[in-house]
Amino acid sequence: MRRREFIWLLPGVVALPLAARAQNSTLPVIGFLGTSTLAAWRHYVGPFVQRLQELGWTEGRTVAIEFRWAEGREDHFAEIAAEFVRLKVAVIVTSGGAVAAAKQATSVVPIVFAIANDPLATGLVASLARPGGNVTGLSNQSGDLATKRLELLREVAPDLHRLAILADVGYPAAELELHEVQTTAGALGLQTALLEIRRAEDIAPAFEGLKGRAEALYVVSGPLVSTNRVLINAMALAARLPTMHGVRDYIEPDGLICYGPNYPDLFRRAAEYVDKILRGAKPGDLPVEQPTRFDFVVNLKTAKALGLTVPATLLALADEVIE
């Protein structure tokens, strides 16, 4: 696992060497556990760091931030979480399946999740209004959006009858969304074919086994998918499959449609949780919040490559059209 010191190129943000941080032990330390890679999360980390600055927390001056990247490897979540506990960080910031690993590593250190799929059903919190314990943050409501995503996909592919679903079946949050998609697809009369992946090496064989069995692909979000999204989109395009994604960054370069929460905004709001905790608030008293901003993006380049015509009414609703 690569453990890179993080240097964020924003005005006023300084990344100190570990030795220097050790000497300045009065600074509270934020442990940031990224489930994917720096390249994949660059658009999330920037808003998080910037919002911290706006709230008075400047890296290297009033706070230290330790960044670690699991690179889509779920087996690294617990290892990184344990390291943060040893470092005695003031708060851990993470997302998705890594939240459970962090919670298992400590019941004392506050944990803020910027993204979590149904934190109540997965047992991360006791209640949304009063989470209790040491965990709180923002729910991305990913499973609840499956119906909307499939409706949008059918607008572009009205003859859709057979839907492939690609999911990291070893990732708990992905399993929740997968169940929702399968249930919704069944209610819409769609046949489904599941592409099960657990590691990057599973992606190509999954597509090979799909030939002739689907007319579109629903991609369930997760760290493994995030890390390998370029490959997934390229293989879907080669197989002539229009794709539906739940994260804005997943759609480029070859994805077709994205509909889901605005992740940069969720990370900005996660910084607000961190601010409150560093100023003395207890995570168990901070209610879990839901998304307020959503991304609906259509990639016309991919639509043209697939020979699809996107209805003008749909384009008018899109927040962004890639041409």
What pairs with residue 292 in β-bridges?
none
Average pLDDT over residues 1-11: 40
Residue in the block written with tokens 């794709």: 243
pLDDT of residue 20: 43
* Predicted pLDDT of residue 143: 60
Residue closest to 270 by CA, chosen among 286, 257, 248, 251: 286
Query: What are 123's two structure tokens?
Result: 């047992």
Q: What is the pLDDT of residues 282-295, one digit of tens each?
A: 999 999 999 999 99
Using the predicted structure, report yes or no on whether residue 150 has a pLDDT greater than 70.
yes
Q: What would the pLDDT profile of 76-112 be if each residue is shown by its tens digit?
A: 999 999 999 999 999 999 998 899 999 999 999 999 9
Mean pLDDT of all residues belonging to the chain? 90
Tokens encoding 101: 């690993």
Instruction: Report the C-alpha dihedral over residues 97, 101, 102, 103, rounded to 10 degrees.
Output: 100
- What is the rounded average pLDDT of the residues 241-262? 94
CA angle 68, 74, 77 (to 5 degrees): 40
Residue range 294-315: mean pLDDT, rounded? 96
In this predicted structure, which of 19-28, 113-122, 123-132, 142-151 has the lowest mean pLDDT?
Answer: 19-28
Question: Could you tell me the pTM of the whole model?
Answer: 0.84
What pLDDT shows up at residue 14? 38
Per-residue pLDDT of 41-66, as tens digits, reads 989 999 999 999 999 999 999 999 99
pLDDT tier at 172 (50, 70, 90 boundaries)?
Answer: confident
pLDDT recorded at residue 25: 63
- Give yes or no for residue 175 having a pLDDT over 70: yes
Say which amino acid occupies 183: T
Give the pLDDT mean for 15-42.
Answer: 74
Domains identified in the chain and CATH numbers: 18-140+263-292 (3.40.50.2300), 143-261+295-322 (3.40.50.2300)
Return the residue matching tokens 């929740």. Answer: 176
117 — pLDDT class (breaks 50, 70, 90): confident
| pLDDT at site 160 | 95
If pLDDT is split at 50, 70 and 90, which confidence band does 142 have?
Answer: low
- Tokens 């997934």 correspond to what residue? 232
pLDDT at 134: 97
State the pLDDT at residue 68.
97
Q: Is the pLDDT of residue 273 over 70?
A: yes
| Conformation bin of residue 293: beta by default, left when phi > 0, alpha when psi is -120 to 50 | beta
Residue 12 has pLDDT above 50, yes or no: no
Q: Is the confidence at residue 5, as pLDDT, over 80?
A: no
- Please say if the pLDDT value at position 7 is more than 90: no
pLDDT (0 to 100) of residue 22: 42
Could you tell me the two tokens for 209?
């086994």
Region 154-177 average pLDDT: 91
At residue 257, the pLDDT reads 97
Top-confidence residue, 40 or 110: 110
Range of lowest pLDDT (66-80, 141-155, 231-245, 257-271): 141-155
For residue 305, pLDDT beyond 50: yes
